[in-house]
């Protein structure tokens, strides 16, 4: 009896994971950001290809705060509603910085005194390592310095 094989099709969704940093979120949300168009195109392409987005509570705190200060409360709250919608559609997972990740982030922060990594960046590095995420949606070169793939390239 002939064996049936299944060939991948163009409609197959990949199970790629991308960590989204503040720079990525902000560029998508802020229409006047210099990377807005590039960010939207990248984000939409990733959505169509079935990418699973990950971010953290620390990144969302940083993003909401920056949006609030730079664009106002309405823009920040609209962003939060979009985050909730993405979570409800299972497009986005929000990772929590727990004691273990906090400790790993502190170790990274201590080891890289020659770099200007923010502590939030260090928590993101620790989360990316713990979740075997290699690609980060950001415009922050610190992620490339740490050894992660940064997308998109503007």
Domain 17-95+133-151 listed as CATH 1.10.1740.10: no
Distance of CA 111 to the CA centre of its chain: 23
Say whether pLDDT at 125 is over 80. yes
DSSP state of 50: T
At 21 the three-state DSSP class reads coil
Region 112-120 average pLDDT: 95
Region 96-100 average pLDDT: 98
Task: Read off the pLDDT band of 4 (50, 70, 90).
Answer: very low
Say whether pLDDT at 148 is over 70. yes
pTM of full prediction above 0.75? yes
- pLDDT tens for 30-79 read 999 999 999 999 999 999 999 999 999 999 999 999 999 999 999 999 99
Alpha helices in the chain (DSSP H): 22-29, 36-48, 57-71, 73-88, 99-111, 119-130, 142-145
Q: In angstroms, rounded to a whole number, what is the distance separating the alpha carbons of residues 122 and 145?
A: 12
In the prediction, which pLDDT does 48 show? 94
DSSP state of 131: T
């Amino acid at each position: 009896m002939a064996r049936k094989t299944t060939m991948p099709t163009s409609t197959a969704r990949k199970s790629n994971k991308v960590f989204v940093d503040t720079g990525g979120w902000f560029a998508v949300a802020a229409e006047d950001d210099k990377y807005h168009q590039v960010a939207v195109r990248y984000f939409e392409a990733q959505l169509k290809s079935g990418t699973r987005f990950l971010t953290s509570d620390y990144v969302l705190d940083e993003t909401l705060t920056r949006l609030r200060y730079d664009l106002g409360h309405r823009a920040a709250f609209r962003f939060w509603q979009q985050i909730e919608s993405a979570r409800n559609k299972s497009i986005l997972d929000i990772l929590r910085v727990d004691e273990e990740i906090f400790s790993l982030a502190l170790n990274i922060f201590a080891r890289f005194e020659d770099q200007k990594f923010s502590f939030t960046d260090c928590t993101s590095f620790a989360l990316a390592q713990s979740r075997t995420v290699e690609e980060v949606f950001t415009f922050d070169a610190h992620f490339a310095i740490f050894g992660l793939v940064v997308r998109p390239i503007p």
